[in-house]
Amino acid sequence: MYSRKEKWMKLQDLKHAGLKKWIDEVAALTKPEAIVIADGSDAQYQQLVDEMVASGLATPLNPEKKPGSIAFFSDPSDVARVENRTYIAAASKEAAGPTNNWIDPTELKKTMTGLYDGCMKGRTLYVIPFSMGPVGSNIAKIGVELTDSAYVVTNMMIMTRVGEKVLDVLGSDGEYVQCLHSVGKPLADGESDEGKWPCAPIEQKYISHFPESREIWSYGSGYGGNALLGKKCLALRIASVLAKDEGWLAEHMLILKITNPEGEAKYVAAAFPSACGKTNLAMLVPTIPGWKVETIGDDIAWMKFGADGRLYAINPEAGFFGVAPGTSLDSNPNAMYSLEKNSIFTNCALTEDNDVWWEGIGYDAPSKLTDWKGNEWVQDKGNKEQAPASHPNARFTAPASQCPSIAPEWEDPKGVPIDAILFGGRRPHTVPLVHQARDWNHGVFLGSIVGSEITAAALDLKAGTIRRDPFAMLPFCGYHMGEYFEHWINLGKTHDQSKMPKIFYVNWFRKTDDGKWLWPGFGENSRVLKWVFEACAGTAKTQDTAIGIMPTADAIDRPEGVSEDDMAELLCLDRDGWLKEVADIRENHYPKFGDKLPKELADMLDIMENNLKAVDASASCGSCC
């Protein structure tokens, strides 16, 4: 079996004997009709696009409005990550930890091997050699994904560095992560995928990670992180295990560069749970004159210690896989400019002239649309029950190089030195606009208690319930979360803390008792970043409080519309609210991790509780005694 195009690289040209052997084994099992090696070239990308358009799977978009772009519509059962079908198949259930789904790896491989048997019949097996991070960087890692989906290949060509340059670095015996994927549902004789998004029923979907052998097996889904195996699967679940074993960090974090009017720059990494403005912050347009924010990455940060003792980060991705609904020129202009061309849109609505539209794009739907399910759709603003035209998890895949705010050093193989790490969540009450950890262990404590308040309507839980998502890593950590906390603690023990990033907790989502926003967010968050910058430089106005270091009342420039009283409320120490927070952490959150919870974190919780009890209960705000 060879490439369909003689000019593409052939299997026998591969230098890596182990890789060739694995491909042969997979081909013998899955029985494809052809094998194609992805070389990362524009010509091959276009060939795959043309084939998908010809088959009816992809729709070319208006070349005047979205040049070089295509749209896809998935099967309605295949629209997002399937966390309940995502497994950490570690050698033992304890190694996977209480927050991951576990299946015995031997049994899981037996089940999945049965599903893979003949699953690529009538399809092409694509070999995707890819680098997570700049090719050749000492922080980067190489993966090879075998897939039967051209949609996956084209997305991976945008999201990662693909092709022969990766194979050159891999050489004849280099290490790589094996990533096996199939959309599933083998084709019957004479059947084809033309015009259909192939996927298996939910009970046959498996997104499986084998941390000891560094393997990823995915079956039955063609969508997003289930199928683009460089994304969450390698970049976080497998990489987090590699990071623990090798002494670095693989984190669900954006990376940005902020520069003051004097030209001094600092680099910030930030971790937030979903729906907390992560991409918006990564591409923020500052409202403070003279300040500049540039994008290194919007989702993943890999961080290793340099020879100078500082923590250096790369963005291991080469593109953005962003949620489309809610993205507009008002909320995130840089994202909108990034996706103007050469992009892939999944489950967005189509206009009559073949442009894309989604809810929250910033303007009304133009005339009739074709919704993400292929039905005619006309906007009816008076009907609050109207189904959305775009799926709420509709996506765009766009090259990071097209982002107007991309930093010149975003592909520096050495990475950028991280000055600050931010944690945050959606908290209408209690948590102030910003506070800083006193030291590394205190910062790890802040990361370990991250959470967002949810409503009964959203998740069928009691209103005001905190959904904890420590480090925004709960769905993505490839091993026991208690050991993950311990890994962070140990880095503070084995490295010079004076050179480590300072750690902060931010909250853009404070509300008044009657539900009004206290802080405008978006570009105004640059005012908080300015204080973080100053705290890193040692020039910030600060006060010590029971929960950590906070800005003084006049430390942060107030945006228009935020009164002195609002600012006081945003920076207030809510003693009683924090004592309730302590109780929730002690009773409901930390017990999940059992005896794997580091003693340092339990001690930090005790210290905070004692500090809070020492605050005058009659004061609305107070400092630690």
As annotated, the active-site residues are 276
Q: Cα(first)–Cα(last) distance of the chain, in Å?
A: 74
Give me the numbers of helices (H) and strands (E) for the chain, helices first please: 17, 31
Cα distances (Å, whole numbers) of residue 443 to 239, 424, 448, 454, 488: 22, 12, 9, 24, 10
Upper half-sphere CA count for residue 307 (Cβ side, 13 Å)? 2
Rounded Cα–Cα distance for residues 381 and 383 (Å): 5
Burial of 152: CB neighbours in 10 Å, binned 0-12, 13-18, 19+: buried
Rounded Cα–Cα distance for residues 178 and 193 (Å): 26
Contact 294, 324 (CB under 8 A): no
Rounded Cα–Cα distance for residues 343 and 399 (Å): 7
Amino acid at 317: E
Rounded Cα–Cα distance for residues 351 and 601 (Å): 53
Tokens found for residue 210: 């084998």
Rounded Cα–Cα distance for residues 386 and 332 (Å): 26
Rounded Cα–Cα distance for residues 39 and 354 (Å): 30
Rounded Cα–Cα distance for residues 211 and 108 (Å): 13
Neighbours of 62 (CB within 10 A): 14
Give me the phi and psi of 188, to 5 degrees please: -80, 165
In which residue are the tokens 């705290």 written?
535
Tokens found for residue 212: 């000891």
> What is the Cα 406 distance to its own chain's centre?
17
Rounded Cα–Cα distance for residues 601 and 581 (Å): 15
Contact 394, 347 (CB under 8 A): yes
Contact 7, 40 (CB under 8 A): no
